[in-house]
Amino acid sequence: MPAANPAGDPALGLGVGLRNVHFEHILRNWPAVDWFEAISENFIDSGGRPRMVLRRIAERYPIVLHGVSLSIGSTDPLNVRYLRRLKRLADEIGARWVSDHLCWTGVLGLNSHDLLPLPLNEAVLEHVAARVRQVQDILERPLVLENPSTYVRFRASTWDEPAFLRALCEATNCRLLLDVNNVYVSCFNAGSDPLAYLDAFPFERVVQLHLAGHQHCGTHIVDTHDRAVSAQVWELFRIAWQRTSGASTLLEWDGNVPPFQTLHNEVLHARAVIGGASKDSLATVAAVDAEAINSAREAASTPIDFLLPAVMSQRTWSPA
């Protein structure tokens, strides 16, 4: 793989999301994965074992931090205390970069625990750009922003998402995380063309790509992160990877998390895609994965279910 992408950031290879159910496997086996992405909120306030595990993993693998609470589009003031803790965590583990989403997550001090879409127009661009600059000043590094999955569009929007992100990068020198699954989900839900979306996207700003699974509900698609990647998303990834000259690629899997080797094998399918596998062969791989991994799994989860540890839904005590 290339040593760096067009934005000049290092290409880390093929990675997976770091989840606590895999801690023991990783510490015992030190698997041959290229890098890990850690959810910032899972470690930012931990001074115990999770933070220790993260430090140990960071000694052997490149780590990227990915957040879900920045709320860059909110009208609430930025949470400076959160940002300072985030910087301390990033410095401690030598995070290669820090990312979050182009969205808002709450208002009036309340957190919706969801990644809510923004209207895309000049006023919102000015608002978000000012906040990005403030974040970058505190973090002392460029912020990386991801395109979210969306289910509605606003009449007040005057720009499409690729044009908005291009303008935001030009105004702030931030970087981008292109979630290929989110492109497919959002375009299907809006009735638009994902190939046209990619044609307009500012790939020169992309430092990372995301892959994930989704739940197709017929009339709409839900970004669930709880199953294998679809053949359609693999094909979009092939195009996106080529246009970034090989950006760091990561598989997200946040609900119904499989054993580590299953997770790792799924992201390794990217090698076949990069190598020019046919659409038919990708469809076959996706069908086999779906049968082996996704059977009897139709209840929708959300992309941030993993913020609630499994222990919260399990009784670990016995009545007297």
Quick: pLDDT tens for 188-218.
999 999 999 999 999 999 999 999 999 999 9
- Encoded amino acid at 104, one letter: W
DSSP character at residue 295: T
Residue-averaged pLDDT of the chain? 87
Straight-line distance from the first to the last Cα atom of the chain, in angstroms, rounded to the nearest whole number = 59
The DSSP line for 107-167 is: ETTEEEEEEE----SHHHHHHHHHHHHHHHHHHTS-EEEEPPP-S---TT--S-HHHHHHH
Pick the CATH number of 14-295+304-309 from 3.40.50.970, 3.50.50.60, 3.40.30.10, 3.20.20.150: 3.20.20.150
Beta pairing partners, 65: 38, 98
Q: How confident is the model at residue 96 (pLDDT cuts 50, 70, 90)?
A: very high
Other residues' Cβ atoms within 10 Å of the Cβ of residue 175: 22
pTM attached to this predicted model: 0.86
Instruction: For residue range 246-291, list pLDDT tens digits in order.
Output: 999 999 999 999 999 999 999 999 999 988 755 555 555 454 444 4
With a pLDDT cut of 90, the percent of the chain lying above it is 78
Domain boundaries, the chain: 14-295+304-309
pLDDT of residue 111: 79
The answer on pLDDT for 296 being more than 90 is no
Q: How confident is the model at residue 5 (pLDDT cuts 50, 70, 90)?
A: low
d(CA 138, CA 189): 36
Q: How confident is the model at residue 7 (pLDDT cuts 50, 70, 90)?
A: low
What are the residue ranges of helices labelled H in 173-247? 180-190, 194-200, 231-243
Q: Which of 115, 264, 272 is nearest to 179 (CA)?
A: 115
Contacts 24+ apart (CB under 8 A), 279-284: 279/231, 279/235, 282/231, 282/234, 282/235, 283/231
pLDDT of residue 311: 37
pLDDT of residue 6: 52
